Chain A
Amino acid sequence: MEKLPFERPTIQKISAGIPSKHGISRKLEPLSHIDGLSIKSLIDDYGSPLFILSESSIRKTYKEAYRAFSSRYPNVQFAWSYKTNYLNAVCNVFHQEGAWAEVVSGFEYDKAAANGVSGESIIFNGPDKSKEDLRKAIQNSSLIHIDHFDELYEIIHLSREVEERPKVAIRINMDVGVYPKWDRFGFNFENGEAWDALNRIKASKNLDLIGLHTHIGTYMMTTEAYKIAASKLAQLAVSLEKKHGHVIQYIDMGGGFASKNTLRGAYYPGTDTTPSFDDFAEAITSALMSSEIKPDHLPMLILETGRALIDDAGYLAGTVLANKRLSDGRRATIIDTGVNLLFTAFWYEHDIRPIEPISDQMEDTTIYGPLCMNIDVIRGNVMFPLLKKGDHYVVRRVGAYNTTQWMQFINLRPQIVMLDMKGKAHLVRKGETLDTINSQEITPEHLQNFNL
């Protein structure tokens, strides 16, 4: 007699709560392949855990975003936000698609230059630009977005030493009706500081004022805020033309578009609530097109969206280390990815699922990382199928920020592969070894030996 398939015995409490009228499916479909390649085979070849990036997903998302804006506005330019993911392979996919580079430090500036991005296609943002960084940026004709008056005066000072004329824009913060108000970067619109800064630049004679920049926040779930921001920048552009007869070349709306991840504590999943690129594009372009800017002086529209362009293309696959029960009877599953690798677990209810069909039975589970730290929680509680030790999982939408903000802590950082347009895997960052870490250390002579 043939044996029956084994399904583990379970007992579940029936909760007589109010049933959700939204009826979100409790079945978690496994995700076994990315771009036609089995996740299991990738883990076998490259180890666990493993970051996996999909080139076709990056290109598809980029094209979708570009189409949303370029079909509504005559002159659109994207600039890839390096801090979101500065793996060279990722940056170069964006550069191949036509995106400039948007950097916020001397290190990122050099990385973009080393990737082959020409100086005039690098936007230099952020509050941290050293004198040498600024000198380099001026000499390379990069677009310097000034953050504060000290930086403005530094550039005016440098402009007397350097032959090239600095190409500058100012970053402007403003009230766009959302909380929290971001006012730590740039010059304020409402209190007149931004207008003051623009007038000082015009008065300096040595600087080329070429643009206006804002970045209103992060993970914006409302498009209305962008509409307000675009209108305010347009007002400044009109005032500049009126007072100085100066036409700016571009308006840079920054980034901050939300991805489809679900924020912690959100009632609805991000896939249902995140505005589309078309929604953001409609808000921004309609505000610019209907502003007082003369039609033949419409500036180039620059976008620095990072997260929304790359999040979907990143996956993190790995292995279950153990299962246990917590003191209150809930299940805990320990996986080999901790918050040191998946930094975004602090912000999101990450979509984590098995890579193989396991069982239709789900149990309220807490998913812990492998770190010997209490804060190492990947999902606080999630209805999850019972994965056994050695089973594999995959976390979706991890392309943004994780491989820039990750930490080498307790464990080494793993390999990263990118799947090309034909689904072939390429190693794009090697996993760390003990040598990687030790090669940076210098142990003083008198501390090199000991007897225990």
Chain B
Amino acid sequence: MPNTMPKIRKNIAISESGFVFDPLSGESYSLNPLGLEIIHLIKNGQTYEELSEVLLAKYEVDQETLDRYFYDFIATLKQFNLLEVETDA
């Protein structure tokens, strides 16, 4: 479980259809429906427990698989610099 949920950078624009625009880099991205759903859940300030509860109830998936893909997804968001930079201070 992540200790703290990652935060999506505030100035990232996300459309209802899953189109993502980063005004800082000028890059655009496309989310699939579950990617979009997870981003909405993160933006709503849900904890990981709450997020997994919602998704496990809705989709044909077990906790282990969900964990794995969630982390992979977050790693990709981080790679694309779409997350707030965590500071230890």
Contacts and interface: CB of A to CB of B under 8 A. Distances in A.
Interface of B: 20, 27-35, 37-38, 57-61, 65-66, 69-70, 72-73, 75-77, 79-80, 82
B31 A10 contact: yes
A321 to B, nearest CB: 15
Contacts of B75: 325, 329
A151 to B, nearest CB: 61
Using C-beta atoms within 8 Å of the partner chain, give the interface range for chain A: 10 to 19
A14 B28 contact: yes
A450 interface: no
A3 interface: yes
A4 B30 contact: no
A437 interface: no
Given A3-B57, A361-B32, 7 more contacts: A3-B59, A4-B59, A5-B60, A9-B69, A10-B73, A10-B76, A11-B77
B69 A11 contact: no
B67 to A, nearest CB: 12
Contact of B31 (A4, A5, A11, A329): A11
Contact of A9 (B27, B29, B38, B79): B38
A267 interface: no
B60 A11 contact: no
A8 interface: yes
Given A6-B61, A361-B32, A11 B72 contact: no
Interface string A1-30: 001111111111110000000000000000
21 contacts: A3-B60, A6-B66, A7-B32, A8-B34, A8-B69, A9-B37, A9-B73, A10-B35, A11-B29, A11-B31, A13-B27, A13-B28, A14-B27, A14-B28, A14-B30, A325-B75, A325-B76, A328-B79, A329-B75, A329-B80, A361-B32
A329 B81 CA distance: 11
A328 B79 CA distance: 7
Question: Chain B: interface secondary structure?
Answer: helix
A329 B32 contact: no
Contacts of B60: 3-6
A8 B76 contact: no
Contacts of A12: 29-30
Given A3-B58, A3-B59, A9 B28 contact: no
Contacts of B34: 6-10
A12 B34 CA distance: 13
Question: Chain A: interface secondary structure?
Answer: loop
A329 B79 CA distance: 6
A361 B77 CA distance: 17
B80 A6 contact: no
Contacts of A13: 27-29, 80
Contact of B80 (A4, A5, A9, A11): A11
Interface centre among A3, A7, A11 (most CB of B within 10 A): A11
Give 4 closest A-B pairs by Cβ, nearest first. A329-B79, A6-B61, A9-B35, A6-B59
B58 A11 contact: no
A162 to B, nearest CB: 70
A361 B34 CA distance: 12
A209 B31 CA distance: 71
A7 B55 CA distance: 11
A11 B28 contact: no
Nearest to B70: A9
B77 to A, nearest CB: 6
Nearest to B74: A9
A4 B56 CA distance: 10
Contacts of B76: 10-11, 325, 329
Contacts of A328: 79
